[in-house]
Amino acid sequence: MRKFLVSLAVTALVAVAAPAAAAAPVVLAAPDIPVANVQAHLNQFQSIATANGGNRAHGRTGYRASIDYVQAQLNAAGYTTSLHSFTSGGATGWNLLAEWPRGDANNVLMAGGHLDSVPAGPGINDNGSGSAALLEIALTIARQNYTPDKRIRFGWWGAEERGLVGSTAYVNSLSSAERGRIKAYVNFDMIGSPNPGYFVYSASGQPSGSLALQQVLQEPFAAMGVPTELTSVGGRSDHAAFASAGIPVGGLFTGAEVTKTAAQAQKWGGTSGQAFDRCYHASCDTTSNINVTALDRNADAIAYAIWTLSAGTPPPSGPRFENTADVAIPDQSSAESPITVSGVSGNAPATLQVGVDITHTYIGDLVVDVLAPDGSVYNVHNRSGGSADNISTTYTVNASSEVANGTWRLRVRDAAAQDTGTITGWSLQF
């Protein structure tokens, strides 16, 4: 995030807390984004910086290597990617654009964040965090073969730290017709601060339509029981160029150099009297500078916003139950994770959505079953996928013959030797 000398202005927002019970229904349209996958991208950014003079700054080899890493992932997933070049400080810079080739091309939702760091450090929170979350969400869209109503376009911007150069160059390059096709832009810059706050960009003073974005970005935190504050980020990040073009904007932020107050520490935890990010624009902005809980919550919130704003298949109207406790999968053995469903009348639907997140180094070893309360078994994965790692997907199960209430179980069996894994979470959407 570009540094300004002004303090960050915040306005308190009272969030509605979700019930404390682990299996409380939370209505979310999007899949859970495994934070381990986001962290894996951050590890790649750290390795790139380490191999390239300690940073990923504009005009340096580390930035181009970061672009190449992200673009290769997206190309392999089926995105249409392009590089948009510009010049700043006598050096060529690049923006990476990636478009999911589905949805109305005249009705575009854009989501972005800057990929460059300052020269002083690797920029893992600023803004590897936003960049990594966007990359994993883009890959999730591809894995789920998601068909939105709107066209989804991602942007990873260059030279933000030199004054929002890349995003401004991109917006300035668009014709009036091309700008008109972009119905909204949401920005994610610093979402894993080590002493985090939970800030949503305020719609005040922004183009018409920004209030709807603000409200959508608040919704997932309310469902999590996490209070948020509105923040007036002004021209501090890449949303500014889009706002100047009259495009509705929104975004999320976990704080930079400003000090956390006692009231904020009481609300969010962490340390009052200390900056949200003590390593802001410093060499210590490494993978050790990330609050994993904040990263996880924000990645899920971004996914919720993108799914909701792209208005694909309407989300199920029933309640959602989940279990996010880690359960080890032993080698050549089985593991189970329970979810207790209550308060749902009648039977489960014919389109029960079963979200599954499993880390494992060889998914061809795995047999994954959903067990209904009466013990009926529904197989969703049977030793397919070969040597690929991890399962992060949503299955549709016809469970209309099953009573909804009761304890459902996800059973994972490792059917071959040499590999172990973990059930990192699963969910039932009625």
Query: Residue ranges of the domains in the chain?
Result: 35-310, 320-429
Per-residue pLDDT of the chain (430 residues; tens, 9 = 90+): 644 322 233 333 222 222 222 333 333 358 899 999 999 999 999 999 999 999 999 999 999 999 999 999 999 999 999 999 999 999 999 999 999 999 999 999 999 999 999 999 999 999 999 999 999 999 999 999 899 999 999 999 999 999 999 999 999 999 999 999 999 999 999 999 999 999 999 998 899 889 889 999 999 999 999 999 999 877 889 999 999 999 999 999 999 999 999 999 999 999 999 999 999 999 999 999 999 999 999 999 999 999 999 975 444 567 889 888 889 999 999 999 999 999 999 999 988 989 887 989 898 899 999 999 999 999 999 998 777 778 867 788 999 999 999 999 999 999 999 889 999 889 898 8
Concatenating the DSSP letter of every residue in 208-251 gives TTHHHHHHHHHHHHHHHT---EEEE-TTSSTHHHHHHTT--EEE
Domain 35-310 -> CATH class? alpha beta
Burial class (CB in 10 A: 0-12, 13-18, 19+), 211: middle
Amino acid at 43: N
CA distances from 258 to 6, 19, 197, 248 (A): 10, 32, 11, 26
Domain over 320-429 is classified CATH 3.30.1330.90 = no
Torsion angle (degrees, nearest 10) of CA 160, 166, 167, 169: 140
Q: CB count, 10 Å around CB of 19?
A: 10
Q: Annotated catalytic residue: which of 160, 161, 219, 229?
A: 160
pTM for the model stands at 0.69
pLDDT of residue 19: 29
The verdict on whether 160 is a catalytic residue reads yes
pLDDT of residue 247: 96
